[in-house]
Amino acid sequence: MDYSSAVFYFFSFILLFSAIKVITSRNPILSALFLVLSFFSAAGLWLLLQAEFLAIALVLVYVGAVMVLFLFVIMMIDINVEVMKKGFWNYFPAIGFVSIIMLTEIILVLNKPFFKTPALFKAPIKSNTDAIGEVLYSEYILPFEIAAIILLVAIIAAIALTLRGKKMHKGIDPAIQISVKKSDRLKMVEMGINKFKTKKRVKRN
């Protein structure tokens, strides 16, 4: 066994193990963390295929951004696993049906000769990043731009959904804060301190 196949088996073992743990672990935080681990080992496998740009992009986007926000949300929700598992057997026929359809679809797709080509293991002539950049901006420019516009629409939609108008707006304007003067906050009041003292004395007597 040479070095790269040893690394391959190492990463694949971790990938399979963590993927199984994602669905079997009882703690949702642990599930999310195992998903992170499986992304990591998948990135390792891609590195073995000399697809360094894709591997690092996977870590950067899914591990560094998407899963962080996922964890963020999961941590703040109080998830009761018992309640969630209550209706499992009622839903089981529907779940089984959907998963069988998905399994057959995946098998049909992966059986295509396209996925059996050994060309996957051929090293790219120049750097992987250059190759992807060239193809992306020449051959696939239209799908790439369409994907960009769809993402932009999604960003605007997400902002529009959370924007509730000016009424709920409790934000502060830093410009107003900075230009505050002493006279806006402080009010000098004449206390008449001598009068106060004499009054107190009178009370005591």
For residues 79 and 29, what is the distance between their CA atoms, to the nearest angstrom?
10
CB of 17 to another protein, least distance (A): 16
Of 65 and 149, nearer to another protein (C-beta) is 65
Mark 53-83 as b/e (b = at least 16 C-beta within 10 Å): bebbbbbeebbeeebeeebeeeeeeeeeeee
* Contacting residues toward another protein, per CB under 8 A: 1-3, 6, 27, 29-30, 33, 36, 52-53, 56-57, 59-60, 63-65, 68-69, 71-72, 75-76, 127-129, 171-172, 174
Q: How many helices (H) and strands (E) does the chain have?
A: 11, 0
Of 19 and 33, nearer to another protein (C-beta) is 33
CB of 184 to another protein, least distance (A): 19
Of 100 and 152, nearer to another protein (C-beta) is 152
CB of 119 to another protein, least distance (A): 20
Q: Amino acid identity, residue 40?
A: F
CB of 138 to another protein, least distance (A): 17
Contact between 58 and 46 (Cβ < 8 Å): yes
Of 5 and 117, nearer to another protein (C-beta) is 5
Q: For 190, which DSSP code?
A: -
Of 3 and 88, nearer to another protein (C-beta) is 3
For residues 189 and 187, what is the distance between their CA atoms, to the nearest angstrom?
6
Q: What angle do CA 81, 87, 90 make, to 5 degrees?
A: 150
CB of 197 to another protein, least distance (A): 38
| E strand segments, 27-176 | none
